[in-house]
Amino acid sequence: MRVAFLGLGIMGRSMAANLVKAGNDVTVWNRSPKAVEGAKTAVSPKEAAANAEVVWVCVSDTAAVEQVLTGKDGAFESLKPGMIVADSSTILPEISVKFAEQARERGADFVDAPVTGSKIAAEGGTLIFMTGGKDETIQKLDPLLKAMGKTVIRIGDNGKGLGAKLAMNLMIALIYEGFAEALTLATKLGVDQQALFSLIQSSMVRSGVVDYKMPFVEKRDFSPNFPLRLMHKDIRLMLEAAKESGVKLPALETVKNIYDKAHEAGRDDLDYAATLLTVEELAKGK
Amino acid sequence: MRVAFLGLGIMGRSMAANLVKAGNDVTVWNRSPKAVEGAKTAVSPKEAAANAEVVWVCVSDTAAVEQVLTGKDGAFESLKPGMIVADSSTILPEISVKFAEQARERGADFVDAPVTGSKIAAEGGTLIFMTGGKDETIQKLDPLLKAMGKTVIRIGDNGKGLGAKLAMNLMIALIYEGFAEALTLATKLGVDQQALFSLIQSSMVRSGVVDYKMPFVEKRDFSPNFPLRLMHKDIRLMLEAAKESGVKLPALETVKNIYDKAHEAGRDDLDYAATLLTVEELAKGK
């Protein structure tokens, strides 16, 4: 397929590379110019999308999605009937629904296709996609989804993929916070870290989230896989979506305060695992 | 071995039954009289312990441990040099250390051996033990530990098993709260519950905690496996231990507020999974 891929961040660059590997005719665009081996490079989203059957977006926030789709030289300037726009960015579900309406008014279609999985899953093509949109449209995307992911879960109509994605990241944030608070308490109580890690791995609290982070925490290596500022942004989205739908999420609100403090401490570009440092500092009364 | 087993609650009765099955000479005692097939029944902890090599305790809180050990007709009235007392109750680590000192002053020894795992794990003898105490003492208990559990993790000296246990339950409480808030948000955003459950099970947020609770949540069956009042008690212990060691656990404090509300709503004897109802009610502005 002829695919325009917009956004070559930590996830996007590997996703685009996997589309190339699977034999697609890929044209990439990124805000700061970047190339992907085997893909053409365009100077604007509009140019990337000019000849595409599918436009795939993977950028960091709502403003960036708006810019690459409906901004000046945005992909929608090249939108033609029959084209499909798929968005793997994490944004508010209701805003995604509006993009879908705009695309349909012009005879194209739109799917929200956020992903879960680490940088390594993006590289290995083992991401999990949560899709929202029309069945037949998602079916057309199947070869592309399979090139980038191992699992595609159809959640519902437009915006529902994003609803599931926010729920998923909410769980990640709280699982990690539980680990951070448990580790901080156990350490103060004199529990050996290795013994605690063994216990976690042999018990019902074991999760992929903590399995993935434990070796980094052990080395105190907080280099970014999922940057703290992006999880912070996702938490703000969850709370915004919650507020608009009349839901209270008390533990998530508390976790947001910790991310606020981590942000103030200049940890935006570390991994979100660095919120452990903030929890430890609370213990020290900072 | 000749074992006195004190406390036949949800966990204790299965643990005692597994000691019997493994060929031990078991005498049981429970506050409200209960029997275990194949075991003798005693009228007091003192009587149960009179002829025992090992006294195993599994009761609900600090007051109950004090009562069965050092209270009137308590097991310590039968304490003799060489005896071992093992406590699987979840209590404050520092209090457990005091019991250990008292036992040692009288030539006996003491191990904290809290467990993690469900009612089903207790029945099947697949609990995980976290032990704190002297190596040689824990080795003597090995046949008993293996009769009741599949995994024994030696955490450190006295009180450290309990430190690990509090950390473990902290993680359970926060994992479940994350699930409850995620489900509440996703439902309001129109995400199908089955799709969300499939997603959870195929992604890195999957854990034994949520795997175990999901079918019950699906049926809205909140009959107790781990009663809410016991998790509530454990959370208070964690916060007490945290306060005494100068640690702040902000998300756990928030979760405690939810348990406080669930308690006020009369949910003490439901499973702790019923905190979902309280989260849902917050959403409705109750």
pLDDT, position A73: 98
A168, A186, A252: residue with CB nearest B205: A168
**Mean pLDDT for chain A overall:** 96
All residues of chain B having their beta carbon less than 8 Å from the beta carbon of residue A153 are: 195, 198-199, 202
B118, B183, B206: residue with CB nearest A207: B206
Percent of chain A with pLDDT over 90: 96
Single-letter code of the amino acid located at A15 = M
A247 plus A279 within the same structural domain:
yes
**Cα separations (Å) of B153 from A5, A104, A225, B103, B145?**
49, 59, 31, 23, 10
For A254, other C-beta atoms within 10 Å of its C-beta total 19
B149 plus B182 within the same structural domain:
no
pLDDT tens digits for range A2-55:
999 999 998 999 999 999 999 999 999 999 999 999 999 999 999 999 999 999
pLDDT, position A119: 86
Dist CA B208 CA A219 (whole Å): 26
Tokens representing A177? Answer: 């916070």
Q: Mention every residue, 6+ apart, whose C-beta is less than 8 A from residue B125.
A: B18, B21, B147, B148, B149, B150
Please report, for the domain that includes residue A133, its CATH number: 3.40.50.720
Per-state percent for chain B, helix, strand, coil, to nearest 5: 55, 15, 30
Domain count, chain A: 2
In DSSP terms, A129 is beta-bridged to A115, A152
pLDDT tens digits for range A65-107:
999 999 999 999 999 999 999 999 999 999 999 999 999 999 9
Q: Is A23 left (phi over 0), alpha (psi -120 to 50) or beta?
A: left
The answer to whether the Cβ–Cβ distance between B206 and A205 falls below 8 Å is no
Contact yes or no for A213/A176 (Cβ under 8 A) = yes
B173 plus B92 within the same structural domain:
no
Q: Which one of A157, A182, A207 terminates a domain?
A: A157
What is the pLDDT tens value at each position of chain B, 286 positions in all?
999 999 999 899 999 999 999 999 999 999 999 999 999 999 999 999 999 999 999 998 999 999 999 999 999 999 999 999 999 999 999 999 999 999 999 999 999 999 998 889 999 999 999 999 999 999 999 999 999 999 999 999 999 999 999 999 999 999 999 999 999 999 999 999 999 999 999 999 999 999 999 999 999 999 998 999 999 999 999 999 999 999 999 999 999 999 999 999 999 999 999 999 999 999 776 5
Tokens representing B225? Answer: 């496996």
A127 plus A194 within the same structural domain:
no
A150 plus A246 within the same structural domain:
no
Restricting to A residues 87-116, those with a Cβ less than 8 Å away from any Cβ of B are 93, 116
All residues of chain B having their beta carbon less than 8 Å from the beta carbon of residue A204 are: 116-118, 172, 207-209, 211-212
Dist CA A44 CA A229 (whole Å): 26
Please report, for the domain that includes residue B222, its CATH number: 1.10.1040.10
B152 plus B193 within the same structural domain:
no
B239 plus B153 within the same structural domain:
no
All residues of chain A having their beta carbon less than 8 Å from the beta carbon of residue B251 are: 174, 177-178, 181, 251, 254-255, 258
Nearest CA in chain A to B181: A249
The minimum CA-CA distance between B165 and chain A, rounded to whole Å, is: 9
Q: Which domain holds residue A118?
A: 2-157
Q: What would the mean pLDDT of A213-228 be, rounded to a whole number?
A: 96
Q: Which one of A157, A176, A200 terminates a domain?
A: A157
B110 plus B198 within the same structural domain:
no
A127 plus A189 within the same structural domain:
no
A195, A238, A282: residue with CB nearest B164: A195
A278 plus A151 within the same structural domain:
no
A195 plus A264 within the same structural domain:
yes
Q: Kindly list the catalytic residues of A.
A: 165
pLDDT, position B285: 67
* Cα angle B250-A285-B169, degrees, rounded to a multiple of 5: 35
Contact yes or no for B127/B15 (Cβ under 8 A) = yes
DSSP B77: G
Nearest CA in chain B to A167: B182
A95 plus A170 within the same structural domain:
no
Nearest CA in chain A to B246: A283
Dist CA B193 CA B175 (whole Å): 18
B153, B191, B207: residue with CB nearest A205: B207
Q: Which one of B157, B176, B198 terminates a domain?
A: B157
